[in-house]
A and B are shown apart, each in its own frame.
Chain A
Amino acid sequence: MSDYLMEMKGIVKAFDGVRALNGIDIKIKAGECIGLCGENGAGKSTLMKVLSAVYPYGSWEGEILWEGKPLMASSVRDTEAAGIVIIHQELMLVPELSVAENIFMGHELTLPGGRMNYPAMYRRASELMQELNMPDINVALPVMNYGGGHQQLVEIAKALNKKARLLILDEPSSSLTSSEIVVLLGIIRDLKAKGVACVYISHKLDEVAAICDTVAVIRDGRHIATTPMDEMNIDRIITQMVGRELTALYPKQEHAIGERVLDVRHVTCYDVDNPQRKRVDDVSFSLRKGEILGIAGLVGAGRTELVSALFGSYPGRYEAEVWIEGERADTRSPRKSIRQGLCMVPEDRKRHGIVPDLSVGQNITLAVLDDFSRYTRIDSAAELKTVGDEIARLQLKTASPHLPITSLSGGNQQKAVLSKMLLARPRILILDEPTRGVDVGAKAEIYRLIAELARQGVAIIMVSSEMAEVLSISDRVLVMGEGVLRGNFINKDLTQEAVLAAAINPQARADGDSPASDAAGAHEHMEFI
């Protein structure tokens, strides 16, 4: 009998020949909590999907031993039967159903004839709540009556009800307030004492340091190290996470930075589902002509929310004051923003970028169609001419502008979406994850284009999760964490470590002004800061 509850050996998982995981070994004992750390895209989620058989046995290489015996699970059902339960970052609860009904979802206790055995379910659910030291929760009330923290508990209770012996928590605290996090960590300690093993995935390294016995760091799909927490501290974890030296993948172009063109004051965004919670909390910054401003931060830091509030497309309630070239600008809708030269290429290309039933050309001209119309009639020849020029300028690879946009590769779709916004002649261009899901070749062309635009005087805000990208092409980097601005760095000798340290430091606060030394920038509203 092995000492370990679970051992993963040499796990390799490839997507279309690209190795997302490249030989990972993780071991865990009963009652142990292991922290799994890595940058965005390092392979943490993929690894957990392998472990929980979201990717079934056989679709990856390597071996998983469960209590010393090989585990060959073909579905989540099998791993749950063994006792491996994953709690996803997004809660999987039905808000309208009661706490007990959610806990027993899919495993309902029934009476003859398929009737729900409510008394038994309520009794068992109450017992689970006792175990979690939460006797106050009324298990007959709908889940939506409780806040995010308690809902997280319901998820854990659901897992315990499945007799979980290994609990995987994927960013469990990303939607919790700090007092709720304290409760969550207390519960994990209790579970450990009862012999339940945990895998704790979090960007919040202070939580990892507080709760975990061991830390495993992965980077670019490789296992870097597994170390007992006693021998580690947060700085060391960061060093392991970042690891590599910045290579000169992205040549930087010199360009002049001009006058202040954008001032953003007091942006606050409230969560769509939980209006008490702030996704962005009072962020202010400014931007100059020809400046490339990178916005870095970990997933859930509020970067996308911040830029979509500027552009007027944030779905929930928000407040924002925007000045363009010193004048107060109304950017409460994308339409108004685009008219004033504030354009955005959104993060989610499929949902917010492309219009799938239109052709490549029709997608490109969508925002500026009025320019090609005389008495509302589209001058299709003039339109095609512009589209042809754009396709050549962006080196967009398509056999014909009449092809459906969905027939293009991700990189070329992104170029089309970019081109759509460029035709609107932006003064300020927001790029939210401009190279996500884009192949290397197209990436380089997009960087070249960004540099070229900056040289022409366009002010650029680039949100990116790829640290290397941010550090390579930005003039200045804002760092966000948990909805607040935690750093504002001129990109000179700036290191990934410094950015990451700021992103996870809960004490850090920064103002986001462009520090270039010209008096023209000092407008009246500067008094606000």
Chain B
Amino acid sequence: MKNINFKQLFSQYKLMALLIAIAIIWAFFSWETEGGFVSARNLSNLLRQMSVTGILACGMVLVIIAGEIDLSVGSLLGLLGGVAAVLDVTRGMPLPLSLSIVMVMGLALGLFNGYLTAYLRIPSFIVGLGGMLAFRGILLGVTGGQTIAPVSSGMVYLGQGYLSAGVGSSVGIALFMIAVLLTWRQRTNRAQHGLPVAPMWRAVARILIIGLVLSGFVRTLNSYDGIPVPVLLLLALLGLFSYIASQTVFGRRIYSVGSNMEATRLSGVNVKAVKLWIFGIMGTMCALAGLVNTARLAAGSPSAGTSGELDAIAACFIGGTSMRGGSGTVYGALIGALVMASLDNGMSMLDVDTFWQMIVKGSILILAVWVDVSTRSGR
């Protein structure tokens, strides 16, 4: 009996469990590195390191919720990052133009994957596997197997730039205002339709917690060099994708397609179009991740993004996305990415051998999914 209660508690507070896991990992590494791990400088690094996987995970979580998988994202990221470097370095194109070309290419290739999956009914696993090989091949062809450098300073800013302390603080305040506004709107809206409204103290407590977290976040990063640009991008994507997943018609359909595609189709939903656009979004995220990756390295590398798909997929699963499809959250996937990045970062600081790092990451993935599966109430 007690066991069942524990299970229920766990699945209800999955987010809490994940945050506790992160707290344990951070505490362990801080203790081992005598505080070095939680220094402002390292946290800033850590967040920058997770940004590429995080951007991919934002798209991947939607793909997995819809009951599909995309294995081509690592290669596609590499290809689009490589194209960005070629356009920037070899062609000398102005930054806005090369950015738009890469984004449109990402969308188009993603839609192509989606078309193959949804309309030609090729299993997405195969489409991804084929894309993984083909996109990497195209990348090798485009770059001639060479690293393309140095990219322009404008592009480098995307991956390595920081917001000044003033701008960073304003971003923090703006986010806080949005949180207040959303809470207030939700309350008035519910009251308007005569639905029960949660007590005031809960809204206030919620806003207070958000405020504390935000100010801690901004202060820590400002005490180093400021908020890194890719981290800001990731935050924006977190907001956008959480909004899409939980507030929009499209988002609701992603969940319902993944949970029971046939029932959704019989309810008059164009399930093929839903899948097509999910892959389109995934492609666009590959473009963004490719740009950030090229900017971070200040070069287009033919091996960029290798096994990026695995990191992104692992992040989603660690973050509690169901592999049957139908359930999962964007913030969960990002916390999953943070877990992976923390392990990478911490073990590197401790000079753990690479082979150990791989073994640990693999085991954590399996452990996380085992915990998730065994606490899912018996279905």
Give A contacts to B, CB under 8 Å. Answer: 311, 313, 334-335, 337-339, 344, 346, 351-358, 362, 366-367, 369-370, 373, 376-382, 384-385, 388, 406, 420, 424
Contact = CB atoms under 8 A, between A and B. Distances in A.
Contact of B327 (A357, A362, A369): A357
Contacts of A339: 268
15 contacts: A313-B265, A335-B270, A338-B268, A351-B263, A352-B262, A354-B263, A358-B259, A367-B267, A367-B268, A376-B248, A377-B247, A380-B247, A388-B195, A406-B379, A420-B267
Contacts of B379: 356, 406
B249 A381 contact: no
Closest 5 pairs (CB-CB, A-B)? A357-B326, A357-B259, A338-B268, A381-B189, A367-B267
A49 B249 CA distance: 46
A515 B262 CA distance: 36
Nearest to B328: A357
Contact of B248 (A346, A358, A362, A373): A373
Interface SS majority for chain B: helix
B332 interface: no
Given A373-B248, A385-B194, A355 B259 contact: yes
Given A337-B268, A353-B266, A358-B252, 18 more contacts: A352-B262, A352-B266, A354-B260, A355-B255, A355-B260, A357-B322, A357-B326, A358-B259, A366-B252, A369-B253, A376-B248, A376-B249, A377-B247, A377-B248, A378-B249, A381-B192, A385-B195, A420-B267
Given A354-B260, A357-B259, A378-B252, A313 B266 contact: yes
Contacts of B248: 373, 376-378
B24 to A, nearest CB: 29
Contact of B252 (A334, A354, A369, A388): A369
- Give the interface size bracket for B toward A: 20 to 34
A11 to B, nearest CB: 32
Nearest to A335: B268
Nearest to B258: A357
A358 B192 contact: no
Contacts of B250: 376
Interface SS majority for chain A: helix
Contacts of A354: 260, 263
B91 interface: no
Contacts of A358: 252, 255-256, 259
Interface of B: 186, 189-190, 192-195, 247-250, 252-253, 255-256, 258-260, 262-270, 322, 326-327, 379
Given A335-B270, A338-B268, A385-B195, A351 B252 contact: no
A334 B269 CA distance: 8
B259 A334 contact: no
Contact of B268 (A356, A378, A424): A424
Q: In this complex, which of A311, A337, A358, A370 has the most chain B Cβ atoms within 10 angstroms of its Cβ?
A: A358
Contact of A355 (B189, B249, B264): B264
Contacts, number: 98
Contacts of A382: 193
Given A351-B262, A357-B259, A334 B267 contact: yes
A366 B270 CA distance: 12
Contacts of B252: 358, 362, 366, 369, 378
Given A384-B193, A385-B193, A385-B195, A334 B268 contact: yes
A384 B15 CA distance: 25
Nearest to B322: A357
A150 B322 CA distance: 44
B264 A366 contact: yes
A125 B260 CA distance: 43
Nearest to A365: B252
A175 B322 CA distance: 39
Contact of B193 (A335, A338, A381): A381
Contact of B269 (A335, A351, A380, A388): A335
A352 B269 CA distance: 13
Nearest to A370: B249
Contacts of B267: 334, 338, 366-367, 420
A382 B195 CA distance: 10
A94 B192 CA distance: 60
A379 B188 CA distance: 12
Contacts of B265: 313, 334-335
A352 B263 contact: yes
Q: In this complex, which of B263, B264, B265 has the most chain A Cβ atoms within 10 angstroms of its Cβ?
A: B263
B248 to A, nearest CB: 5
Contact of B263 (A335, A353, A373, A388): A353
A378 B247 contact: yes
Nearest to A351: B262
A317 B263 CA distance: 20
Nearest to B250: A376
Contacts of A377: 247-249
A73 B195 CA distance: 59
A414 to B, nearest CB: 13
Nearest to B191: A381
